[in-house]
Amino acid sequence: MSSERNAGTALQAGQYLMFTLGEETFGCRIACIREIIECPPMTAIPLTPAFLRGVINLRGAVVPVIDLSVRFERGRTALAERTCIVIVEVAGAEGPQLLGVIVDGVTEVLEVDTADLEMRPSLGGGIRADFVAGMIRQGDQFVLALDMDKVLSGDELARLVDIQQQARGEQAREGALN
């Protein structure tokens, strides 16, 4: 049963970052997390999907920032004291890509055993089923474990990569003018 429970690379025992969106708690494997930062000023990019809040400068790198709440077709995340950006590395067409994800707050890093993992439910949890890697049992409750490669992939990711490359080109042109 445990091999059935852990089919797929996204649902594995190990450390999970737990974070909140509104009143809900979600988890994602710590292996894809690069860092957690306070919300810096973001540069809005016109004509992009609503879930793309803008881009940030992360030590010279242009990083697109996704509003995870909007990605899940919920309301826009209001920036507050605990709001932060989780920098995630996801698989891209041209190799690993860094993306920022706005969350209401980070709660903990949790060590999750195989016995605490369940396959994703066949019923929706208010978000697309392919975004969910599975469920993490915490006592008598469950937390959705997200598959960040799926949440931040597909055509949208390709568009984000294009935006990132355009922003890099603009930075290079600005640098050449200065």
Question: Can you list the domains of the chain with their CATH numbers?
Answer: 2-172 (2.40.50.180)
Give the predicted TM-score (pTM) of the model: 0.79
Which band of pLDDT confidence, cut at 50, 70 and 90, is reported for residue 5? very low
Instruction: Please state whether beta strands 141-146 and 132-138 pair in parallel, antiparallel, or not at all (unpaired).
Output: antiparallel
Tens digit of each residue's pLDDT (9 = 90 or more) over 152-170: 875 555 665 566 667 666 7
| 8 Å CB contact between 10 and 147 | yes
